[in-house]
Amino acid sequence: MTNQSVVVLARMNNNFILINQYRKPIDGYTIQLPGGGVNQDEPLEDAVRREFIEETGYRCGQVTFLGKLRPASWISNEVTYVYYTDDVIEYIGQALESHENIEVLNMSTNDLLKNIETGKIVDSELTYACLQCLLKGIININMKGLTS
């Protein structure tokens, strides 16, 4: 059986809502997308909305499927389903699990892409989501610099 997870790249007021989460395997924090596991028989879109609320405290409406990836196929059969939303409705407060230590970040398109370029952001799911958004025209780059 394949393990499934979901993540979402969410934009609100020209900024992306990201998380800075402590990860025990690297004994440090990493900037990444909010997301997590999918419960048995849970629709993927419900799972991504649930995880977004839990980790960021924000509720979202419509989500758009960007694609799927295998973030670590050499050690896991996990498949991550990646979504995008700009339909952030309201802030209702985080509902973190006891093991989670998460700071919510707001980052502009320019800062996000510059942080990927410089290696400050190295998370595969976040970089994949940005690439898909670039390819689908959700994020635009012109010769004069980055734009959202």
Under 8 Å CB-to-CB from 121, ≥6 apart: which residues? Answer: 31, 112, 115, 127
Distance, in Å, from the CA atom of 144 to the CA atom of 71, rounded to the nearest integer, reads 32
Fold (CATH) for 4-147? Nucleoside Triphosphate Pyrophosphohydrolase (3.90.79)
74-121 residue pLDDT tens: 888 889 999 999 999 999 988 887 787 899 999 999 999 999 999 999
| CA 120/CA 90 separation, integer angstroms | 29
The residue count for the chain = 148
pLDDT tens per residue across span 32-77:
999 999 999 999 999 999 999 999 999 999 999 999 999 887 888 8
| pLDDT of 134 over the 80 cut | yes
Do the beta carbons of residue 44 and residue 38 sit within 8 Å? yes
- What single letter denotes the amino acid at residue 102? I
Which own/partner contact pairs does 130-135 have at CB distance under 8 Å and 24+ positions apart?
130/9, 132/66, 132/67, 132/82, 132/84, 133/9, 133/66, 133/84
> Is residue 2 very low, low, confident or very high in pLDDT (cuts 50, 70, 90)?
low
pTM here? 0.90
Domain boundaries, the chain: 4-147
